[in-house]
């Protein structure tokens, strides 16, 4: 894997006879993950942590907002639910807390299709429709963090 600024190549760890696993070196980036489904949240979190990212997990908007008040992550990964419609406020809160001009990438996962008006108003960097391949999510996050690092 070529070296990219902000991302270090993976190292292999293991014991003879037990196989090798690959663990990514940390990027020192934090992701706030809002996903209502506990099992999916665990799988996503584990896959992101395997890439070296630190993950703050929230099962509801209120807890995600509390996490934002304690710490500002580098990226917001939220589940869009047409019924709740509170995700827009969470995005606005995240971007308001970031320093002016600093990168504030937002990725949205969803089964529902956000309306064109919602997308125009909240301007997520990417909308990923469920079901999706976790590698696609990892690559999308990596790309968003790298692109926004150069924008900021």
Give the residue with greater pLDDT, 4 vs 89.
89
The rounded mean pLDDT for the chain is: 82
For the chain, how are helix, strand and coil distributed in percent, rounded to 5? Answer: 40, 25, 40
Give the distance from CA 64 to its chain's centroid. Answer: 13
Give me the pLDDT at residue 38, please.
Answer: 96
Residue at 96 is within a domain? yes
pLDDT, position 133: 93
Determine the structural domain holding residue 132 and report its residue range.
Answer: 21-151
Count the domains in the chain.
1
Whether residue 6 is contained in a domain is answered as: no
Q: Largest alpha-carbon pair distance within the chain?
A: 56
Q: Global pTM?
A: 0.78
Q: What are phi and psi of 63, to 5 degrees?
A: -70, -40
**Cβ 121 vs Cβ 129: under 8 Å:** no
Which CATH number do you get for residue 65?
Answer: 3.40.50.2300
Going by C-alpha positions, the residue among 150, 141, 140 that lies closest to residue 101 is 150
Residue 1 located in a structural domain: no
């Amino acid at each position: 894997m070529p070296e990219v600024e902000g991302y270090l190549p993976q190292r292999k760890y293991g014991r003879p006879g037990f196989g090798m696993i690959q663990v990514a070196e940390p990027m020192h980036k934090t992701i706030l993950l809002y996903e209502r489904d506990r099992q999916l949240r665990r799988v996503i979190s584990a896959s992101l942590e395997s890439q070296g990212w630190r993950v703050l997990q929230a099962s509801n908007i209120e807890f995600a907002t509390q996490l934002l008040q304690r710490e500002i992550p580098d990226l917001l990964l939220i589940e869009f639910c047409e019924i709740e419609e509170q995700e827009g406020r969470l995005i606005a809160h995240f971007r308001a807390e970031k320093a002016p001009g600093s990168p504030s990438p937002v990725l949205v996962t969803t089964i529902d299709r956000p309306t064109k008006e919602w997308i125009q108003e909240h301007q997520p960097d990417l909308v990923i429709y469920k079901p999706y391949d976790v590698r696609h999510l990892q690559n999308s996050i990596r790309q968003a963090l790298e692109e926004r690092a150069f924008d900021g």
